[in-house]
Structure 1
Amino acid sequence: MSRIIAGVAGGISLANVPGDRTRPTTDRVKEALFSRLDSYGILAGARVLDLFAGSGALGVESASRGAAEVDLVELSEKAAAVCRRNAELVNKALGRTVVRVSRSGVQPFLDRLHSYDQWDLVLMDPPYTLSETELAEVLASLSPRLADGAVVVVERSSRSPEPVWPDGLERFADKKYGETRLWYAEPARQ
């Protein structure tokens, strides 16, 4: 059972997706990720997009820590149902609706966006079966949707190659935690 680590909803236990088709982010990795994001000062008032959300644990953690809006995007019906339960728990703790859930594939979700939709933080934990080419396509679609100073975090197997960053997006850090590697990127400086 995972939990919210910190913030207004800190300590709340979250539902997990049954079965082995999703890979929950370990508490160790989640703590390191949010420690780094807190040091950037990016969470307070942020608009957050959690793609391939699984249980939505990363997105709801963002909401607990002060994000203004969080969109969880998940295609699997079982996982989207868990996202809805976790969103409801955190929204109730916050006393308002901050977290929304879209049951959708990531690419169709990005294709439906308005030109003014932009995010400050994007969290991506795609399935390991997602090819590097498909990941590059998602990153390319995402790039014009980033606010100034945005951060994109991609979680992959430590054995996976570095994502192919599209024009307009560049890596500024990465960190390995056992079997997991986090890649950090930002809009390219002009």
Structure 2
Amino acid sequence: MTRIVAGLAGGRVLKVPPKGTRPTSERVREAIFSRLEHYDLLRDTKVLDLYAGSGALGLEAASRGAREVLLVEAHKAAAGIARDNATKLGLAGVSVRCDRAEHVAGLPTSPPWDVVFLDPPYDLSNERLHDVLAALVPHVDERAVIVIERSARSGMPLLPKQWRVMTSKTYGESTVYYVEPEVPLVGYTCA
């Protein structure tokens, strides 16, 4: 059973697609959101959930105070379930788009994304994931956090040169990477 962990919709149960998706476990979602709360990145933020599946990650963000959440899922049936979950929870600012992550990642957005979740199918190659990440580069805030969940056997994702891994944590078969843009230190001089 998949449910929202905390916030306005805490404890509410989500429907999940019967096949073709791998919902992030409650334990892993709890850890992800604990870290994002530590970074103070949930209240009044703009969140993009690519490869959304049931929408659990994005809906959790909305439940915890994100002001705008876009759930993106390419598979029509899964996108329909994400839409049903969003409607059932009635959280403000949530929208669902049935589209490919590769397409939506490159679309201009204003203001830029504060948090981006990427939980692609484990068989998605690191090269294809890199293309999605590269398309996102101009559309994320300089203080954004990009959360990537991959198979522990996939190895570190290939990142655009403008980004770096802040930290990562392995939970059984999954590894979660927390990525941020590398912001140049403007005006910094060595003494």
> Shorter-chain TM-score: which interval?
over 0.9
Alignment-derived partner of residue 183 in structure 1: 177
Whole-angstrom distance in 2 between the partners of 1:165 and 1:74: 22
Alignment-derived partner of residue 103 in structure 1: 98
- SS, match of residue 8 in structure 1: coil
- Provide closer, same or farther for how the CA distance between residues 16 and 26 of structure 1 changes in structure 2, counting only shifts above 3 A: same
For the pair shown, the structure with the greater C-alpha radius of gyration is 2
**Amino acid of the structure 2 residue aligned with 1:136:** H
CA shift for structure 1 position 168: 1.3
Give % identity.
47
- SS, match of residue 85 in structure 1: helix
CA shift for structure 1 position 116: 3.4
- SS, match of residue 121 in structure 1: strand
CA shift for structure 1 position 115: 5.5
**Amino acid of the structure 1 residue aligned with 2:10:** G
- Provide closer, same or farther for how the CA distance between residues 63 and 115 of structure 1 changes in structure 2, counting only shifts above 3 A: closer
Deviating beyond 4 angstroms after TM superposition, the runs of 4 or more aligned structure 1 residues are: none
Unaligned 5+ segments in structure 2 are 185-191
Whole-angstrom distance in 2 between the partners of 1:170 and 1:102: 28
Alignment-derived partner of residue 151 in structure 2: 157
Residues 84-126 of structure 1, C-alpha deviations (whole Å, 9 max, x = no match): 0111122x2x4xx311000000111223x22635100000000
Map 1:120-131; keep pairs closer than 5 Å: 120-131=114-125
- SS, match of residue 86 in structure 2: helix
Alignment-derived partner of residue 83 in structure 2: 84
Alignment-derived partner of residue 139 in structure 2: 145
Residues 106-152 of structure 1, C-alpha deviations (whole Å, 9 max, x = no match): 111223x2263510000000001211110010111111111121000
**Amino acid of the structure 2 residue aligned with 1:103:** C
| Greater CA drift, 115-124 or 63-72 | 115-124
Q: In the alignment, is residue 67 of structure 1 matched against residue 66 of structure 2?
A: yes
Whole-angstrom distance in 1 between the partners of 2:64 and 2:110: 25
- SS, match of residue 29 in structure 1: helix
Is the contact between residue 49 and residue 58 of structure 2 (CA under 8 Å) also seen in structure 1? yes
Residues 24-43 of structure 1, C-alpha deviations (whole Å, 9 max, x = no match): 11111111111111111100
Residues 129-178 of structure 1, C-alpha deviations (whole Å, 9 max, x = no match): 21111001011111111112100000001111101110211111000011
Alignment-derived partner of residue 56 in structure 2: 57
Report how many aligned residue pairs link the two structures: 184
Whole-angstrom distance in 2 between the partners of 1:103 and 1:129: 20
Q: In the alignment, is residue 170 of structure 1 matched against residue 169 of structure 2?
A: no
